[in-house]
C-alpha cells in the first residue's frame, strides 16, 4: 500500500582520465544532488573506452565513493557507443514478453557480428511501430562480454552492486531533459548536437526532439593539450597536467599553446558536423550545439565554435535547475558540471 522506497542508483562514468560519481534524489519534480565526486585515474588504466586495469580503476572508484560520502550501494555504469551494437527491430504487438525474448534470441545472429556466447544483450520495447500499427518497435542492444564484465568487476571490487549497464549514447538522451530546459520549447522540435570532448575521445551525439539519431566518436581530447604543454615547456606529463589544472603556466601559454588547441577543437567539431551532414539524407542543419566533457569549459571555446559553425553554442550544465544537498560543494560541482552529463543520465535511471 505504501510501497517500498527505491534504493538510489549511483551514476558512475568511467572515462579515460577520471571516474565520476553522482547520487541524485527526486521530489516534487525537482532533482537534488545528494553526493558527487570526481577522481583521477592512473595513466592508461582506461584506453579508448577499454578498461585495461580493473584493480586501478576500482581503487580510484573506492576513493571517489569515500570522498562523496554517499551511502548508495547500487550503481549504474555505461559502455561507450563505439563498443555497443544497437538496432531497432519490429515484432508483432501480440507477442508476450517471453515470446518476444525467444524470438529475439533466434534472430539476434542476424544483427550481431559476434557469437552470442561472447556478448551481453538486452532489449526494450519502445512502443507501437510508426510503419505498422500491429507491430511494436524494439531496441536491441549488445556489447562484447569483456566490455560489460570489466565494468561490473570494477563496481563490485569497489564494494557496490552493479544494477544496470547502459550505453553512453542513451544516457546522454536520458540526461538531455536537464540541459533542454535552457533551450526554446525545452528542445522539442530542435536538432541539437551534443559534442562531448573528453581526455582522448570526442563524441558527437545528434538528438532530434530529444531522441538520439546519430553518434560518432573520433580521436581528439584534452590529453593533447597536456602533451602540448609538456613539449612546449619541457615538463613531465604529470607536471603539465597539474599546471594545466591549477592554471599555473607562463604568460605565453594562451597565444602559443591554448589558442592553437582551441582552433583544433573548433575544427574537430566542424568536421564532425560535416560528417553527420554527409551521412544523413534527412538532416542538413543543426539548431544548437551543446559542449560537454572536460574541455567544454575552456574559456572562449564556445564562442569560437559558434562563430566558426554559425550555430548557437552553449556549455552543458545539468545542475542549473537542481538543489544541492549539504554534502555537495557548489564551486567544485560548477567546475565539473560540463563533464557530468553521462553520470547524471545514469543516476536518473533510479527513477525509471
The two domains 83-145 and 185-316 share their CATH topology (first three levels equal): no
SS3 293: coil
What backbone torsions phi and psi does residue 185 show, to the nearest 5 degrees? 55, 30
SS3 291: strand
Identify which of 148, 183, 159, 182 has the alpha carbon closest to the alpha carbon of residue 78: 148
DSSP string computed for 271-282: HHHHHHHHH-SS
C-alpha cell of 193?
548536437
Q: Taking a C-beta distance cutoff of 8 angstroms, is the pair 76, 10 a contact?
A: yes
CA distances to 12, 218, 259 from 53, in Å: 17, 23, 34
| C-beta atoms surrounding 4 within 10 Å | 5
Say how far apart CA 43 and CA 91 lie, in whole Å. Answer: 46
Q: Taking a C-beta distance cutoff of 8 angstroms, is the pair 112, 142 a contact?
A: yes
Q: Which residues contact 68 (CB under 8 A, 6 or more apart)?
A: 21, 22, 23, 35, 36, 37, 327
What backbone torsions phi and psi does residue 242 show, to the nearest 5 degrees? -70, -45
Identify which of 101, 80, 77 has the alpha carbon closest to the alpha carbon of residue 91: 101
Asked if the 83-145 domain carries CATH number 3.50.40.10, the reply is: no
DSSP string computed for 24-54: EEEETTEEEEEEEEEEEPPTTSEETTEES-H
Q: Taking a C-beta distance cutoff of 8 angstroms, is the pair 175, 318 a contact?
A: yes
124-151 burial, b for 16+ CB within 10 Å, e for fewer? eeeeebeeeeebbbbebbbbbeebbbbb
Say how far apart CA 126 and CA 74 lie, in whole Å. Answer: 26
SS3 216: strand
Full pLDDT tens readout for the chain, 352 residues? 344 457 889 999 999 999 999 999 999 889 999 999 999 999 899 988 899 999 999 999 999 999 999 999 999 999 988 889 888 889 999 998 889 889 888 888 888 888 888 999 988 888 898 888 899 998 889 999 999 999 999 999 999 999 999 999 999 999 999 999 888 788 889 999 999 999 999 999 999 999 999 999 999 999 999 999 999 999 999 899 999 988 899 999 999 999 999 999 999 999 999 999 999 889 999 999 999 999 999 999 999 999 999 999 999 999 999 999 998 999 999 999 999 999 999 999 998 8
Give burial (CB, 10 Å; 0-12/13-18/19+) of 100: middle
Q: Which of the four CATH numbers 3.40.50.880, 3.30.420.40, 1.10.3720.10, 3.40.120.10 does domain 185-316 have?
A: 3.30.420.40
Domain ranges of the chain: 83-145, 185-316
Amino acid at each position: 500500500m505504501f510501497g517500498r522506497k527505491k534504493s538510489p542508483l549511483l551514476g558512475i562514468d568511467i572515462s579515460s582520465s577520471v571516474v565520476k560519481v553522482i547520487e541524485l534524489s527526486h521530489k516534487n519534480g525537482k532533482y537534488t544532488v545528494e553526493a558527487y565526486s570526481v577522481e583521477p585515474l592512473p595513466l592508461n588504466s582506461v584506453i579508448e573506452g577499454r578498461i585495461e586495469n580493473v584493480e586501478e580503476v576500482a581503487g580510484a572508484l573506492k576513493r571517489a565513493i569515500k570522498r562523496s560520502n554517499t551511502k548508495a550501494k547500487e550503481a549504474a555504469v555505461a559502455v561507450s557507443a563505439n563498443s555497443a551494437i544497437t538496432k531497432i527491430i519490429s515484432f508483432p504487438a501480440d507477442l508476450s514478453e517471453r515470446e518476444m525474448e525467444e524470438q529475439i534470441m533466434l534472430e539476434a545472429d542476424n544483427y550481431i557480428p559476434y557469437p552470442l556466447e561472447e556478448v551481453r544483450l538486452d532489449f526494450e520495447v519502445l512502443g507501437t511501430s510508426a510503419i505498422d500499427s500491429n507491430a511494436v518497435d524494439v531496441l536491441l542492444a549488445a556489447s562484447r562480454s569483456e566490455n560489460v564484465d570489466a565494468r561490473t568487476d570494477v563496481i563490485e571490487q569497489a564494494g557496490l552492486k552493479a544494477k544496470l549497464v547502459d550505453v553512453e549514447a542513451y544516457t546522454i538522451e536520458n540526461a538531455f531533459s536537464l540541459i533542454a530546459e535552457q533551450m526554446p520549447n525545452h528542445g522539442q522540435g530542435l536538432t541539437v548536437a551534443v559534442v562531448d570532448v573528453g581526455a582522448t575521445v570526442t563524441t558527437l551525439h545528434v538528438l532530434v526532439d530529444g531522441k538520439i539519431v546519430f553518434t560518432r566518436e573520433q580521436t581528439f581530447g584534452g590529453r593533447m593539450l597536456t602533451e602540448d604543454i609538456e613539449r612546449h615547456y619541457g615538463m613531465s606529463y604529470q607536471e603539465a597536467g597539474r599546471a594545466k589544472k591549477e592554471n599555473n603556466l607562463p604568460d605565453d601559454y594562451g597565444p602559443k599553446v591554448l589558442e592553437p588547441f582551441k582552433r583544433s577543437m573548433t575544427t574537430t567539431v566542424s568536421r564532425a558536423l560535416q560528417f553527420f551532414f554527409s551521412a544523413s539524407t534527412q538532416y542538413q542543419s543543426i539548431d544548437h550545439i551543446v559542449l560537454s566533457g572536460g574541455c567544454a569549459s575552456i574559456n572562449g571555446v564556445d564562442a569560437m565554435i559558434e562563430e566558426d559553425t554559425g550555430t548557437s553554442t552553449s556549455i552543458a550544465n545539468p545542475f542549473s535547475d537542481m538543489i544541492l544537498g549539504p554534502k555537495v560543494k557548489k564551486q567544485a560541482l560548477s567546475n565539473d558540471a560540463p563533464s557530468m552529463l553521462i553520470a547524471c543520465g545514469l543516476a536518473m535511471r533510479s527513477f525509471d
